[in-house]
Every structure is written in structure tokens, then in C-alpha cells.
Chain A
Amino acid sequence: MNYSSLKIGLFIPCYVDQFYPQVGIATLELLEKLGCTVTFPLNQTCCGQPMANSGFEHLTKSCDKLFYDLFADCDYIVSPSGSCVLHIKDHLKVEEKPEESKKLRRRVYELVEFITDILKVDSIEAEFPYRVGLHQGCHGQRGLHLSQMSELNAAPFSKPVSLLKKVKGLELIELDRADECCGFGGTFCVSEEAVSVKMGKDRVADHIRHHAQFITGSDMSCLLHLEGILKRRNSDVKVKHIAEILNSAVKQIPAPIS
């Protein structure tokens, strides 16, 4: 199917916009390579989750309205963050437009699920010759069902894994705990600093134990937290958003570390 006629709105979460522009760029380029016509409304800010998860959902009204006004005319809205997408899917509500809000919520997709379920791509031209560990963001996994969770007695599947398997040279490592939370948790990362950091350290240790060179995931917020821990201990292990890996066309790849 030709998707170029559809209007795809790109939603770049606030912290990605400010701290990880390369993830936004990778997402945009990747979607364009896959044949999408992408628009990026310039006045976007935040999904409202930091307020809502702290108990201040009532202070997200203007974020909701802003999001609605900017993206209402898009056929799909795509974002490289499972957590922000889940928040919008679960909570976005413009008071005077309850029905339209609901409809908009159904058109919001996390990048991996959009590529897998809507675009249904068979192959991705990418090469990433490294050992990579996948950190499943909880909201993407348990909220958006990007992959099967270990808690359930149900058939396994993983949308990010099936995409990563299409990447040339990428060696996906197994982890001891496939879907343990990293401990970021929004404002939890500062209000419960001790536990948050311990969870992050344990998550990082699992990847290092299995010789990962990169930790990837579809949620930059988890990776931001894990990166903070890796950097503090001067680790060689790096974080990379899955969009950056999927967008890594052969020519852009640096020589592998020997």
C-alpha cells in the first residue's frame, strides 16, 4: 500500500526534542524512507504525562488541547516513545470534544508498532554490526503490547525484536530478566532516587553481564536513565534508540570497534 497520501504527524516528546534531537531526526528520516509523508507541527511541547503520573492530571488540560489542535488533522500520529504514546492513548481528553478526542487517541502510534502493524514492512535496509541488548520499556510492552510480557502464560512475540532481526550484523543478546523495569518512572526517578538508581544499575548490569555493546529500546526515557548510570561509571556501553539503529543505512555506519 502507498502511504505517501496519508498525513503522518510526528510527535517528538519534549525531552527527546531537547536532549536527543538525533532520535527525532532518525525517526523522521526512517518514516520518510519507508514512504511516509511526515509533518512536524512546530508548536508541540509535551504529552502531559509528567504532570499526570505525579497526580496532577487536572493540570494537563492545556497540553491535551495543544496536542489535539496540532494533530487533529493527521491520519496517524507517530512518536518514538511508548510511554508518551500510552499516556495519550489512555488519557488525552479535550473537554468540549470528548468523541473527537477518543478518535484521535486511536490514531496515535508508537514508532515500532506503526512500522510493524500499519506499514507492515518486510525489510529494512540497515546495518548495525554490534552486540545489542533490548530494554523493553514497560509502557510500550505491557501498555501497548509491543511484545509479550513474561507474567502471562501466552504465546511469545516481540515487535521490536522482529524489527531488530532485520538489521544486518546486529547480534541481539539474551538477558536474565527479559522485561524488568529500569526504574526511570518519570518523577519517580528523583522522588525515589535510591530505588530508581538501584533498578537502573541492575538493568545495566544484566546487559553488561551478557556483553552488550549497545542498549536499545523504543523509549528514550528509559535509555536516558540508563545512559546516566553508564556514563557515571565510565562504561563503554552506549545507548541507542531503536529508531537510530533502524535508520542506520549502510553508508552511515562507523567502523565497528575492534
Chain B
Amino acid sequence: MSKAIIEHAAASETFNKDESYVDWHDETLWFVRQKRDKSSKLLPEWEQLREAASTIKNYVLSHMDTLLVSFEQKAKENGIHIHWAADAAEHNEIVLGLLKQHNIGKMVKSKSMLTEECHMNEFLSKNGIEVIDTDLGERIVQLRNEPPSHIVLPAIHLKKKDIGDLFHEHLGTEAGATDPQYLTEAARQHLRDKFLTRRAALTGVNFAIAETGGFVVATNEGNADMGAHLADIHIASMGFEKIIPKQEHLGVFLRLLARSATGQPVTTYSSHFKKPREGQEMHIIIVDNGRTTQLGRPDFRNSLKCIRCGACMNTCPVYRRSGGHSYHNAVAGPIGSILAPNLDMTKNADLPFASTLCGSCSNVCPVKIDIHDQLYKWRQVLVKGGHVPQSKELGIKAMSVILSQPRFYQWSGRLGRSVMRTIPFMVNNGLNPWFKQRDMPEPPKESFRDWYVRNRKA
């Protein structure tokens, strides 16, 4: 789906054409944020847990090399095959190679944002491989031929009616049916067939444990287990930052992950994989795809602490009112906006500006990523790299010239206010984006400075 990119502001404008839909989208995600608040506030040690998770992840970032090597060694001892992929293309080729080697043309896949990042489905499909997403939300967006709009809730942008229509078209459910149980049952039967007949299953990895060589996949639907246990070959794709040092650290992360994501105490399934069952092959693909570069950026490296809970999206007032697709990146929202420029500064230059820097994201983040500070820092990098429109640059430069010179500033202010008073249409017109839906402030005759000089200096 390599469509031309529509910038965040323009995509948001389209999204906002139907205000009642925006209200619904906002309320739906705010509800998830509230569930997160409620469940996090039931744990008196919540802030300590966040601190612990952050500390462990900081350790991981500084010991990435040794942890990964140790993980590889242990995993190999357990009979798992380890592959290293420098980028998305290598990852996709490895998956294709494994499938070809086993003469497999069809595969089930549980949720993996990494494969979204690598555009794997598209690649495999071009190479004649059919991939079926088995996470319900993922399957829904796959049937619609669109990317997920949220990393945890892939189809959160859709209403029951949308799903009913989609299932009617693809799964033969009754026209107009919107009952969630009925629709879910139809999806269940549809997927059951896929699970039973596929010889290969791909899963993501939430946590890879350096000490044991094992890994954990968290799902609410059990679809990762179902796929992996029924298949002859289990491929697990992981970004290299998924590593944690010890098994005991899972106690910190699993408690934080689901509470932050949906407010659940823990995901329904936390599936621990350590070695292939008899007759099965297990492969782990450890992917870099820009992560080394990000790790080398002092201001941005700790974005790699992310455990993909989606809390920053649910809390983001901009995300809630612009939708995940407006971010044109596999990972949307605030965290996506600090990850995406690392992958492509030209394509993603708009994303760090799609924020008011309100700071809510950094404070819901279970691993304490300073997301809003990084948004600010990416803006500086993008401007210096020439990735912002020239018109903006000219405007800001003019502003800076005025504000650098007190007399020029005073004169411009007086002139501006006088223009606004005498010929208001100079600013109250369609060319002024402020005026489109907001009135301009009433321009006073006197500035505060004028008042001060007249009243206090006379």
C-alpha cells in the first residue's frame, strides 16, 4: 500500500469533516484511557513500577550487544534458529526463504507491529504467499485492505456497522447484522479453518529474555498460541529492543503492559515460548531496521524503551481527534511520531509537529519515555535538516527579526492592532486559518507597555 503520503494536518482536516464521528472516536479512546487510570490507581506501587521498568529498559539500551548475544546463545541451546535482519527487506526475505524452503504458500500471523513496519504482508503477497491475520482487529483491517489505526486496537476507528457490512461481504454474515457476539462467532469460525490448515505461523515478540533464550507473546485472543501450536514452523519476529535481561523482570513489564494498554490487570494470554515442540521448527528473526541508528541518537535513543502498550495514543488529544491513519506510519500517535522520523525524515517530517506538546503522553508512558520532549527535539532536527516548508521558515524568520528588536516589535504591534481595528477584514478573512472557526481577539488601543509608560512612568 505505497500510496502518496497525505500530511497529518490535511488528513486530520478530512477526519474532522464528520464531527459526531470524531466525538465518538475521542470518547472511545478516552474510555480506554480512563480504564487505564482506574486500574493503575489501584496499584499503590504504580509509579515505582514505572520507575523500575524504565530503569531496566535503560540498562537494556546500554547493554544491547551483550544481552542480544546472550539471548542468541541460550535460544540456540534450546533448539531455536536465530536470524539477524539488518532491515525490513532482509526480514521479509528471511520469512519468504523459510516458507519456500518448506514449500509453504499460506501462513497465519498473530499481531506484530514489526511486520507492519516491514510491510511484510504486501511483500509476501507479491511473492505468492497468502498471509491471514488472526487477531480479530487485524483481520478486520486486512479485509478492508488498510493498515491498523492503533497498535493495540487495530480497528478502533471502525463502528459495529462497518464490521457488519465488511463481514457480510467477506464472511457471508447476514446483511445489516451488528451484534458483536454474532459477528465475532463468524470471525471465529472463519479463522478456525485457517488455524487448522496452515503449516506456518508468525508471531510477534513482546519480551525476549536474555537469561533464558525464551520469549513472551501477549494476546487477548489466544491467537498466537493457536497459530504457533498447530503449525510445523513458528517464526517469531522481534525488533532487537524487545530484549529484557531476566525472567523475573517480566513481573514488572507484564503488570504494566495490559494495565497501560486497556486497564486489564494482565493480558488474557501471556504465552511463554522457550523451545520448539518435537517435530516443530522455531525461528526468531531479530530485526534492526534503523534501531541501531536510533540507539546512536542521544536525544532519541530512549524511544526504544517502548513496550507498545498504546497508552500514549489513547491519552493523546490530537490522536483521539485525528485517528491513527493520519500518522501514515505503522506506529501512530505520539510514540510513532518520535519513531517515524528515524526511519525517514522526509516522509515523516510532519509528525513531530502533530502535537501541542501537552505532555500527557510522557506521563502515561509505563517506561517513562520523554515523548513530548523528543517531539520538541525532533522539530529542531527536522528544521535544521531542511525538512520543513520554506514558507514556514520565512514566517518564523520574520517573527524572530521583529521579536529581537524592541522598537520594531512595539511599532509592529501598534500597527497590527490599528489595522485590526480600522480594517478588520485584513485579518478576518479566509486566508487566516485562525479566523476560519475562531474570532480574533479584540485589539486594544493601548498595549500593556503603553499603559505602563502612561501610568507609571509619567
Interface set of A (CB-CB < 8 Å, partner B)? 12, 14, 16-21, 23-25, 28, 40, 42-46, 48, 50-60, 62-63, 66, 138-139, 142-143, 149-154, 177, 179-181, 183-186, 188-200, 202, 224-225, 227-229, 231-232
Contact = CB atoms under 8 A, between A and B. Distances in A.
Contacts of A63: 400, 403-404
Given A50-B399, A138-B358, A151 B363 contact: yes
B321 A195 contact: yes
Contacts of A190: 433-434
Contacts of B357: 53, 138-139, 185-186
B379 interface: yes
A54 B375 CA distance: 11
A153 B353 CA distance: 29
A185 B26 CA distance: 19
Given A138-B360, A152-B363, A181-B356, 11 more contacts: A21-B450, A44-B406, A45-B405, A51-B403, A54-B383, A55-B353, A138-B359, A183-B317, A183-B356, A185-B356, A188-B353
Contacts, number: 211
Interface of B: 8-9, 12-13, 15-16, 19, 22-23, 26, 30, 37, 40-41, 43-44, 46-47, 315, 317-318, 321-322, 353-360, 362-364, 376, 379-380, 382-384, 388, 392-393, 396-397, 399-400, 402-406, 409, 413, 416-417, 433-434, 436-444, 446-453, 456-457
Given A151-B363, A194-B9, A232-B437, A55 B382 contact: yes
Given A51-B400, A54-B379, A59-B400, A142 B360 contact: yes
A96 to B, nearest CB: 17
A21 B360 contact: no
B160 to A, nearest CB: 24
A55 B406 contact: no
B23 to A, nearest CB: 8
Nearest to A230: B439
14 contacts: A12-B448, A42-B449, A55-B388, A58-B384, A59-B400, A138-B357, A138-B359, A139-B359, A150-B37, A154-B47, A191-B9, A195-B12, A195-B318, A229-B437
Interface of B is mostly: helix
Contacts of B317: 180-181, 183, 199
Contacts of A153: 40-41, 43-44, 46-47
The 5 closest A-B pairs by CB, nearest first: A185-B356, A228-B438, A24-B448, A55-B379, A55-B383
A81 B321 CA distance: 26
A59 B396 contact: yes
A189 B30 CA distance: 22
A241 to B, nearest CB: 12
Nearest to A12: B448
Contacts of B442: 19
B41 to A, nearest CB: 5
B30 A177 contact: yes
Contacts of B452: 24, 28, 40, 42
Nearest to A229: B438
A139 B357 CA distance: 8
B316 to A, nearest CB: 9
Nearest to B43: A153
B397 A59 contact: yes
Given A66-B404, A192-B353, A53 B437 contact: no
B434 A228 contact: yes
Contacts of B13: 193-194
Contact of B404 (A16, A62, A143): A62
A57 B380 contact: yes
